[in-house]
Amino acid sequence: MNQLAIPGFPEEKGLLHGAAGAVFRALFFLFIVSTLFDPADLVLGLKVPLFLACWLSGAWLWMRDRGRGTVPTGLCVFVLLMVLIPIGSICYYLLADGREPYAGFLLLKSYLFISVAILIYITRVDVIKYLAWALTMLAVAIVVLTVVVQMYPVVYLPVYRVGNAFGIFSLGGRDYGSGTEFFQMYFVTSPMLAVSIAYYFQRLRSMGKQRIRYLFLMMLSACAMFLAGTRNNMLVAVLLPIVLFLTYSKHRLAFACVAALGLSVALYQGRREIDAMFDAQEASNSTKLRTLGDYGDILGSDMTNLFIGRGLGAYEEWTGRTYDFITELTLLEIFRNFGLLMGSVMTLLLLYPVIWAYLIRPNYPDKTMIIAYVAYLFMSMTNPLFFSSMGMLVLASLLARMALFEHGLRYRRLLYLEPAIANR
């Protein structure tokens, strides 16, 4: 079963058939792997070259296809808004302020990745499938490194230095103030494992003969996500599989009872640690709360800041942290950067896949990925995750699949309407 679930548009029968298509798929998979395992682009620096190579090869495949169609206007408008709003914000900053240091152009690069939505649409490449494969590699890396470091402490320091030097991962104990130290093997891109959890759950439902395999892969992703050790990761690693099973299980009541009992036991056993994690005095929570007051001062002290924003990439003096251009509070960052006017538009764009799938097209069959997207948005609200190449890749893949579904819907309507018109 193809994951696009759109009759007439399976990847294997589209532009990607043959040697040229295989080259494009290989390039795209390498781009995904580069983005996952080298998010800061410091190891090989291949992220941008691979991105351009994917675009050039994909555009060439599309141009040589005699039956090629046009890109939907709505998809183009969405991509343009996601790019033009940051560009407009940068122009505003340069005209109104212009002081250095400034990080607007650095941040703009991630917004440009949303253009991948058009590339996915014209090539019909099943991005979620390749992303899930790469995320399985990431899950294995997290589990293996955790076991190796725990069994052989002598390798701890070399592994720590590698991850820290290249911005790939961090590891070590984390004490939330309860006296209990959690070991975390935190890969920067580990929140993306929500996608592979949902993908393998979807396969678990549709591939009856391989259920054990997909259940194992789903649990591997959830386990690796939990081992990554952040509060958001741990919560989603536990709750996302539960939500998916509750949503699609034929025995919801029985599963709900078992899940409620299991969660109750876990909450009771870990009540001390959970209280510490969400204690306002905990170091990370305390910093976020102080930063919340800073946002109030920035947006409340100047009507220009409130309605137009400070400009994408503007630096601020933050309480209890360094002079910086970004914080973990992504939602407030949107309004600090773009103001109430364009920030509201940007927020609506982020929520559009959810609105579309549940309100505009409630018959859309791929809601497992929408649920994973909601989980990723939840994690992004208190971590600077979304406006990155991986966050944009997830959004772009959903947009392309939604556009393909609309295309298939219009195609099926024409099949029914044209004979009726001809018979009049």
* Model pLDDT, residue 278: 74
What's at 62, amino acid-wise?
A: W
Over residues 288-327, the pLDDT tens digits come to: 888 888 999 999 888 999 999 999 999 999 987 888 999 9
Cis before residue 365, ω within 30 degrees of 0? Answer: no
pLDDT digits (tens, 9 = 90+) for 375-409: 999 998 888 888 888 889 999 999 999 998 888 77
Res 360: pLDDT:
93
Q: Are 84 and 144 in contact (CB under 8 A)?
A: no
**What is the spatial distance between Cα 75 and Cα 400, in angstroms, rounded to a whole number?**
8
Distance CA 244, CA 367 (A): 10
Question: Do the bridges between strand 169-175 and strand 181-187 make them parallel or antiparallel, or are there none, so unpaired?
Answer: antiparallel
Exposure string over 307-343, b if 16+ CB within 10 A, otherwise e: ebbbbbbbbbebeeeeeebbbbbbbbbbbbbbbeebb
* Ranges of each domain in the chain: 11-417
Check: CB of residue 52 under 8 Å from CB of residue 95. Answer: no
The DSSP annotation for 259-318 comes to: HHHHHHHHHHHTHHHHHHHT-TTSHHHHHHHHHHHHHHHHHHS-HHHHHT-S-TT--B--
Which pLDDT does position 14 carry in this prediction?
60
pTM: 0.90
| CA dist., res. 245 & res. 254, Å (int) | 11
CA distances from 306 to 64, 100, 296, 381, 384 (A): 49, 22, 10, 19, 21
Show the tokens assigned to 332.
């407030």
| Rg of the chain on CA atoms, in Å | 23
Residues 6+ apart with CB under 8 A from 418: none
Rounded distance, CA 338 to CA 104, Å?
12
Cα–Cα separations (whole angstroms), residue 142 to 31, 190, 200, 225, 332? 20, 9, 18, 8, 31
Tell me how far apart the alpha carbons of residues 384 and 298 are, in angstroms, rounded to a whole number. Answer: 19
Residue 10 CA to residue 420 CA, distance in Å, equals 28
The residues, any chain, with a CB within 8 Å of residue 298's CB and separated by 6 or more, are 305, 310, 316, 336
Please name which of 78, 104, 106 lies closest in space to residue 90, comparing C-alpha atoms.
Answer: 104
Closest CA to 374 of 238, 194, 221: 194
Give the Cβ contact number of residue 124 at 10 Å.
Answer: 22
Provide the token pair at 321. Answer: 């942290």
pLDDT at 142: 95
In sequence order, the 6+-apart residues with CB closer than 8 A to the CB of 283 are 177
Grouping H, G, I as helix, E, B as strand and the rest as coil, residue 366 is: coil
The answer to whether 421 touches 222, Cβ cutoff 8 Å, is no
| Beta pairing partners, 341 | none
List beta partners, residue 171.
Answer: 185
Task: Classify burial at 157, counting beta carbons within 10 Å of its beta carbon; exposed 0-12, middle 13-18, buried 19 or more.
Answer: exposed
Of 28, 96, 15, the residue nearest 61 (C-alpha): 15
3-state SS, residue 41: coil
Which residues of the chain have a pLDDT value below 50? 1-10, 12, 417-424
Give the C-alpha separation, 237 to 167, whole Å. 23
